[in-house]
Amino acid sequence: MRKPIIAGNWKMNKTAAECRALVTELLPKVKGAKCDVVVCVPFTDIALAAELTKGSNIAVGAQNIAWADSGAFTGEISAAMLVEAGASYVIIGHSERRQYFGETDKSVNARLLQALKTGLKPIVCVGELLAEREGGLTEKVCRTQVVGAFEGVSAEQAAGVVIAYEPVWAIGTGKTATDEQANETIGYIRSVVKELYGEKVANGMRIQYGGSMNAKNVAGLMAQPEIDGGLIGGASLKAEDFSIIVAAAK
C-alpha cells in the first residue's frame, strides 16, 4: 500500500505574514490526516513555515533547488540552505519552471541528483502540453521527461522520489484531466518507472496528479487506483479547500 501524499504548491503567493495566517489556520484542520501533508512555500516563507509546523504533521517543502553545493549562481538557493531553513521536500521541474525559466530535462536531472544527495525528498513534475495531448504525444512526452529526470539515479534513490503528473493544460485553467485520463497516464508513468527500476520500485512509488485539483473533484481522482495524491496549486491557498482535499486522501 502506498501512503497518499497531498502537497500544496503555493507558487509565488503568500508573504511571510500571509504564510503565518494560512499555516496557523491549516494546522488544526489537517491534524487527523491519513496522508502525508506538505506545503511547498516560497523560499522566504520556509523558515517561518518550518517553525510554525514544528512537531505537527505538516512538512515544509521548497519549489526549486540549485544543482550545485554553493558558489557563483546568482538567484539560486542551495540544498544546505533549504535544509537549514527547515525544508524536507522540494518540487523539481514544475512546468512553470520549464516554461518561463528555461528548465530542461537535463537541469531537472541535475537538481534531482542534488536533492537526493542531500536527503531532501523530491517531487518531480512531468506532463504534456495541450498540443501534445491532442497530437497523441502524451505518453512519449511523459516517458522522455521521466527517463531524462532519472538519469544516473539508482533504484534505491528512486524509491524515495515522488512524481507529480501535471498535464500543463490543466494547470490553473479549471480544466481537470478526467479521473480516467489521469489514472491512465499515471499508470503509464508507473510502467516507465518499472522499465527503469523494476516492479518493486514502480509499485512503491507515489505518483500524484496535479492540475486544477480541488475540493470538488478530489474524491473522484483519489478513487483511481494509480493516483497516490495531489500537487495542489490554487486550492492550496485556502485552508478550508486544502483541508477538504487532505481529508479525501486516505
User: Which parts of this chain interact with ligand 13P (CB under 6 A)?
Assistant: 9, 94, 166, 171-172, 210-213, 231-235
Side-chain-side CA neighbours of 118 within 13 Å: the count stands at 25
Contact, 190 vs 202, CB < 8 A?
Answer: yes
- On the 0-12 / 13-18 / 19+ scale of CB atoms within 10 A, 220 is middle
Q: How far is the CB of 233 from ligand 13P (least distance, A)?
A: 2
Instruction: Encode 134-159: b = buried (16+ Cβ within 10 Å), e = exposed.
Output: eeeebbebbbebbebbbeebeeebbe
Q: How far is the CB of 155 from ligand 13P (least distance, A)?
A: 26
Name which of 40 and 192 has its Cβ closer to ligand 13P. 40
Contact, 63 vs 82, CB < 8 A?
Answer: no
Whether 180 is catalytic: no
From 151, 166, 195, 240, the catalytic residue: 166
Name which of 122 and 210 has its Cβ closer to ligand 13P. 210
Contact, 220 vs 232, CB < 8 A?
Answer: no
Name which of 4 and 211 has its Cβ closer to ligand 13P. 211
Crossing angle for the helix pair 138-149 and 105-117, to the nearest 10 degrees: 40
Q: How far is the CB of 70 from ligand 13P (least distance, A)?
A: 27
Q: How far is the CB of 173 from ligand 13P (least distance, A)?
A: 7
- CA distance linking residue 127 with residue 168, whole number of Å: 6
196: its cell numbers = 527503469
Name which of 23 and 164 has its Cβ closer to ligand 13P. 164
Whether 94 is catalytic: yes
- Residues classed as catalytic: 94, 166
